[in-house]
Structure 1
Amino acid sequence: MVTARPTWAGRNFQLLTGATVIAGLGSSGAHIATAFAVLAAGGSATDVGLVAAARTLPLVLFLLIGGALADRLPRHRVMVAANALNCVSQGVFALLVLTGDPPLWQMAALAALGGTGQAFFAPASEGMVLASVSGEHSGRAFAVFRMGMNGASIGGAALGGALVAAVGPGWVLAVDSACFALAGALRAFLDVSGVPARTPGGGMLHDLRDGWREVASRRWLWAVVVQFSLVNAVIVAAEAVYGPLVAEEHLGGAGPWGLAMAAFGAGTVGGALLMTRIKPRRILLTGTLCVFPLALPSAALAVPLPTAGLTAIMFGTGIAIEVFSVTWMMALHQEIPEEKFSRVSSYDWFGSLVGVPAATALAGPVQDLIGRPAALWGCSALVALLTAAVLCVRDVRKLVRRGTPSSGHHSAPSAEHPAAAEHSA
């Protein structure tokens, strides 16, 4: 029996979802492969952190420009160009790893190119998503889209971990390059004939100031962005630096770590499925309460729990963070005018990632100073304290879901969507 496709799931929605699934399959494995490529080349915990920071630093530096650019140019063209840059950078990275042990500076430089591509892709992606989904269907469409994206994370992380263990990280990076090429090709076929032409603004700086005013005028928005500027930093440090080291020393290497990351992906699929069936009224209160479980993976690594316990915690955390992600995007879709969405999204991404380069670069030295368990327990405590603080903001507790977006928000010409990877805020 064939289930009829929902009326809101148009051609663009299918292309965007397919492209994101393909890119997600490659990227999930590549994150694991990058860490183990550094370790295989004789790198230390500090070196793993430096390469992770090298990717995140240009992502932070160029996000605001990427958001302003995406509100000026056709968003799908920005996305395709970013995919092309990621394809080239990962392809060269794979070649260097396959032909020898590349020096740290080369791996860091290529990671930086990948981060630059993501800086332009992310705001354009989210802006196009919410510009093309009507308010009535936005929550369900976003949940369905993320179900596909997170399903790719399951397969990508599990397959990536297994391939790293079996054939080495170079081939996983090569697969990621090919996935970016295919995803970019699919996005090139998007139909944007129904998207209204953009009116030129008063310049890039004017657009950035305008986006900042949108953020600063909403207490619930900047409170959550500030929260995740620190929450994301410690979570990424724990997973990108400490996680592979704990796996290498206590769990058996890349395979078990890939399994734990796949369990997180499975949890996010479950969370997305849940959000296709429920419509919480107090969307931000519901989402913020679901941030508390993000403190658990760091605690599990601090113990450390065996693979089965870590995997179970990662699965539950995946469900919780997916509920947050969907309710967060529902709030943005409801409250932010479409023509300014990419700029606001870029500030959201900027706040979410601004602390990551320092956190990943300092993860190794902090471990040397106070020990890895103490550093991981500190990560858990910070997540819990910041989340409790955000619940003190009245607007976070009181913002309610409405049936339609706020005035000035564009209602979709057809029905489509994408979103960039690994959003947390």
Structure 2
Amino acid sequence: MKKLQVVISSSTVSVSLPALAVVAVVLLLTAPRPSFLGRYEPNVASLPSSSSWRSAPTPAVVARVPRDCDIFRGEWVPDNDDGDGGGGAAPYYTNTSCAVIQEHQNCMKYGRPDLEFLRWRWRPERCELPRFDATAFLDLIRGRSLAFVGDSLARNHMQSLMCLLSKVEYPKDVSNTANPEFRTMHYESHNFTITVFWSPYLVTANQSNPAGGLWDLYLDEPDAAWLAGVAGFDYVVVSAANWFTRPSMFYEAGRLVGCHYCLVPGVPDLTLRYSLRVAFRTALRALTAGGAAGFDGTAIVRTLSPTSHFEGGEWNKGGDCRRTRPYAANETRMAALDLDFHTAQVEEFRRAEAASGGVARLLLMDTTAAMLLRPDGHPSRYGHWAHENVTLYNDCVHWCLPGPIDVWNEMLLQMLLFHQPGEFSV
């Protein structure tokens, strides 16, 4: 068996090269229901039982940001801290220390040569963002449950969290379905459950014309794939954006009201901006008090991951993302579709927040500005072996693991600290 040596700082990681066929990134973006966790179960099954792990004692004080610090506005700065006080930048985990990384986001395994993208940290404008504390997170969330609802980026987010937590405990797969798009993992030592629900539009959707790529979106109907499942969860992280770019027919109250790029005579083109806005409105209405989901926990809206990092062409016309450094804050700004989607998501969050009258717990996880600055953090061509004779589009949508996406969970921990009682206050 061949070996590939991947060097990170002063340590060398040896990675086996199994002869596995890699599913094209484009299938994750165009198939009606891609199996984005297809390699998930065997990896988890081979990990140590959680009963063999012991949680570290809860720290007296958990590092947290001041209340007046906006953790979503700031800049990326060089990371010279390995998190253990020894100096020298290093990621929280590698592709050998975490076994639940999706193949297409396993950039280290597939030979990405420029590892500088791992050596940056997010610094908010008025404070320092503490490094992720896996022990503190699991102690904080003990006895609770967290669901991710959305497309493959929701899965990307969930796998980042599991990799970060792997320093303390690995979960047990307790899924009640063989469908790899819906997984439920349980951290036995902390009685913590984490789940992902595949729902790229958040509302009911059917592909009416697979050959032409046309979708039917029922914009006033929450997707049954997650609607019944989230009842009883303590937290639900909702996210979606990328799938709304597909040609779609829009239905409300069972009636065709418009479309996006359907080119059907007599059907008004309301555009994808309309469909995303109404879908978010429907999902948030279902998650607020008295909504259709029967959910009485905290809903967290994560804003979109940028769609604009393709350069040199569109995603299916040679576009790629080969930058090796983050943008500085003054080098780019949110515009075009990213700006329109972000505006709609924030406005619908504010609308739901106002409509709830303070009864429902809604939190905004506004990650877009930080991720807009990281065109260097995507897999690009490194979601497969370079010598493989496969046809793949460069992936500038998902995020390498480890990579910039890990900051989402640094932010999530801080959000939970501000919305939890008791022992974690300073």
* TM range, smaller chain: under 0.3
RCO (CA 8 Å, sep 6+): is it higher in 1 or 2?
1
Between structures 1 and 2, the one with greater helix share: 1
Output the TM-score relative to the length of structure 1.
Answer: 0.27
Higher strand share: 2
